[in-house]
Amino acid sequence: MKVGQKLRQLRQKRDWTLAELSKQSGIALSTLSRIETGQMTGTLESHIQIAKTLGVRLPELYADIELDTVRPVPRKLESGEGSGSTLLTAGTLSEKKMLPAVIRLEGGKSSTREPGAAGSERFLYVVKGKIELSLGEERFRLGAGETLHFPAAKPHTLHNTGGSAAVVLSVTAPPTV
């Protein structure tokens, strides 16, 4: 079973439409639809918000999805909205303590602004290029080889300040849910 199928199952169990889940969770209807249809997996932050809204713990959302095995992760690319792409690198452990991803932003482009769940943390490592992190009212400029660790619940956006693609390793650790 995939995460979208599990989401649909939990939503239908509560007799909710996608529109109702969107309104209650604050997650765009189009995003929820793409998750349910398998067109995207969503972010850890969106999974946390969906689980809270549906009244389940995150492990229940991930239950029955895949076996808890350790194996290499095939490349799974999730497109941003014209700004770049995210390579989800997490394995199949159902009670994940972190969600690693490789973010690629084209020159001059920005990531979508997505607040994390309260209590979550995020670590960034710039592999290539130059980025600026907008964290609330603060701005941090980072180049290749530099890192930043911050509370992910604070609204934040990555912006590529260079003319060529920037690559960033992002590791998000959720709160216990």
Domains of the chain and any CATH numbers: 3-62 (1.10.260.40), 76-173 (2.60.120.10)
Mean pLDDT of the chain: 80
- In percent, the amount of the chain with pLDDT more than 90 equals 37
Helical segments of 14-155, H only: 18-25, 29-36, 44-54, 58-62
> Residue 160 in contact with residue 110, Cβ under 8 Å?
yes
Say yes or no to pLDDT of 83 above 90. no
Contacts of 20 (CB under 8 A, 6+ apart): none
Comparison of pLDDT for 55 and 98, the residue scoring more: 55
Q: Which residue has the tokens 């709160």?
A: 175
What pLDDT shows up at residue 71? 43
Say yes or no to pLDDT of 170 above 50. yes
pTM: 0.55
> Residue 112 in contact with residue 83, Cβ under 8 Å?
yes
Query: Per-residue pLDDT averaged across 159-167, rounded?
Result: 93
- The C-alpha atoms of residue 61 and residue 116 are separated, in whole angstroms, by 17
Say yes or no to pLDDT of 149 above 90. yes
Comparison of pLDDT for 81 and 2, the residue scoring more: 2
- The C-alpha atoms of residue 163 and residue 43 are separated, in whole angstroms, by 27
- The C-alpha atoms of residue 39 and residue 41 are separated, in whole angstroms, by 7
What pLDDT shows up at residue 65? 66
Comparison of pLDDT for 175 and 82, the residue scoring more: 175
